[in-house]
Structure 1
């Protein structure tokens, strides 16, 4: 069964690890061989600039990751750069779609032209923040009562103009609710249910329902502390509890996967430690859901969602 995964941090590793090879480097959870073995048909590659990078160097680091995307990921013949969502229906047997996303707008500072350059480079999904405050908004490590900044409204307008999907995964609570009526297209790329695991990176029932009411989706994340509180390792069964809770809350059509592979070293879910082990999750889901329902979560729900992007 084909998988669409909304989040991995391979690009940050490719620019940081010495002589990293996207095809088969065992240090990469979502390397090419793992993606192929796990039947991942589309992988979203996040541009994540670590907060330790000085502000004046952040945009250059984002550019370095885009360069790695082209020279180390797209150079593999199986990978196809998705710059138009309609390409998802055009992928051939053996091809894997590769999508760029931006995990937080820290790298643009207060310069909309830098965001425009990233959009021109093919970024299709943008998160306003990582966990901290920037010129746009406040992340989940900040007070939940703080909202979107004035510059953030300009950012959202630019995203809407280009039909870019806004990702709320790292926004604080007030910012989350403020963007819902403002964003043309919205998603939570890698979050779980806070009712089951009380972590600020997870979403409350109210947030999840509101997200879906505004046409959005939630993609579950495999990071153990977001699955089971304060745990460095967990099981597929515990992840299934989040999926079952969410499908009851908002339906299978609103659920997907956003693994966070390569962004959670050395933590992992047992038997779901890299992209090659996706079949273990699919087989577990098939014990509780029909094939059509699992397909909806694995890929069809997101494909249906993005085929409407640009029509609104």
Structure 2
């Protein structure tokens, strides 16, 4: 079955270790490689620009370095197709190429500069998560002690993204910032890699009210494979992932539920979900509990319909 995965940190690993070859079939330091994507049926992968915490003063050039890696080391191969517009999405899902979409996790270095935002858009970035876990100029992250929302400049940034067609990702936002985004955004938004807090009480997971808002807005929530987001204590299993799926569906979210693995951003893995090539094992587990039509939605169609509606035509 086809798969769309809404979050991975391959670019971080390639930034830290330039010798990594995404296309080496024997590469074992990547959870997501070309061979593993093919093995797992992943037809579109979102690739996040995420700067490591050791970079305490992020600069716009850091984003450009990641984008350069993306173009030089991933898109150099004709088997890959960058997804920037609707036709790219259709081609990736139906043709022989494998799709790749650039996203940004943490808008610290944008500093509210509209020119920086538009430059990222022109370079192919199509989604931005405003914060990582802590605060920046725009908003508070989920682990920021004051638990504030969006700043005045941050709310202007939301409007700028809406006007430009840049999609917005609520994963990592504080709860107050989530609701500020919900109030300020004229367009639906997503949480690319967040589970249900009712099932696992980690602060990075969403409460039922937040999940219902994403459902009401016809946004998307990406069930993630981070063990400590799946089950408290981190002793997670495939069955634990299914509990999050079942809970989101119980709230009416079967049409908004998608995948957001967070592969290559984790150093512990759920047995049976150690890399992208193992995703068919999740598909099989889901098919034992849900109708095939719903499972196709979870694995790719729900992401496809959202992106088809919101990516630019030209």
Shared fold, TM over 0.5: yes
State the Cα distance separating 1:185 from its structure 2 match. 3.0
Report SS of the residue matched to 2:310: coil
Q: Following the alignment from structure 1 to structure 2, what is the Cα–Cα distance between the partners of residues 117 and 148?
A: 23
Once the two structures are superposed, residues 114-142 of structure 1 have per-residue CA deviations (whole angstroms, 9 ceiling, x without a partner) of 22211111111111100010001000001
Q: Following the alignment from structure 1 to structure 2, what is the Cα–Cα distance between the partners of residues 12 and 22?
A: 12
Paired residue total = 308
Give the aligned partner of residue 219 of structure 2: 216
State the Cα distance separating 1:145 from its structure 2 match. 4.3
1:191 alignment partner, one of 189, 194, 197: 194
Q: Are the aligned partners of 1:187 and 1:218 in contact in 2 as well (CA < 8 Å)?
A: yes
Q: Are the aligned partners of 2:86 and 2:311 in contact in 1 as well (CA < 8 Å)?
A: no
State the Cα distance separating 1:144 from its structure 2 match. 6.5
Q: Are the aligned partners of 1:163 and 1:185 in contact in 2 as well (CA < 8 Å)?
A: no
Report SS of the residue matched to 1:181: helix
Q: Are the aligned partners of 2:112 and 2:154 in contact in 1 as well (CA < 8 Å)?
A: no
Matches within 5 A, 1:18-57: 18-24=18-24, 25-55=27-57, 57=58
Q: Could you state the TM-score of these two structures normalised by the residue count of structure 1?
A: 0.95
Task: Note the residue ranges of structure 2 that are not aligned, 5 or more in a row.
Answer: none
Q: Could you state the TM-score of these two structures normalised by the residue count of structure 2?
A: 0.94
Structure 1 residue runs of 4 or more that deviate by more than 6 Å after TM superposition? none
Q: Following the alignment from structure 1 to structure 2, what is the Cα–Cα distance between the partners of residues 33 and 144?
A: 43
Matches within 5 A, 1:119-158: 119-143=121-145, 145-158=147-160
Q: Following the alignment from structure 1 to structure 2, what is the Cα–Cα distance between the partners of residues 156 and 36?
A: 35
- Higher mean C-alpha deviation, range 152-161 or range 27-36: 152-161
Give the aligned partner of residue 301 of structure 2: 300
Q: Are the aligned partners of 1:144 and 1:173 in contact in 2 as well (CA < 8 Å)?
A: no
State the Cα distance separating 1:284 from its structure 2 match. 0.4
State the Cα distance separating 1:296 from its structure 2 match. 0.6
Give the aligned partner of residue 176 of structure 2: 174
Task: Note the residue ranges of structure 1 that are not aligned, 5 or more in a row.
Answer: none
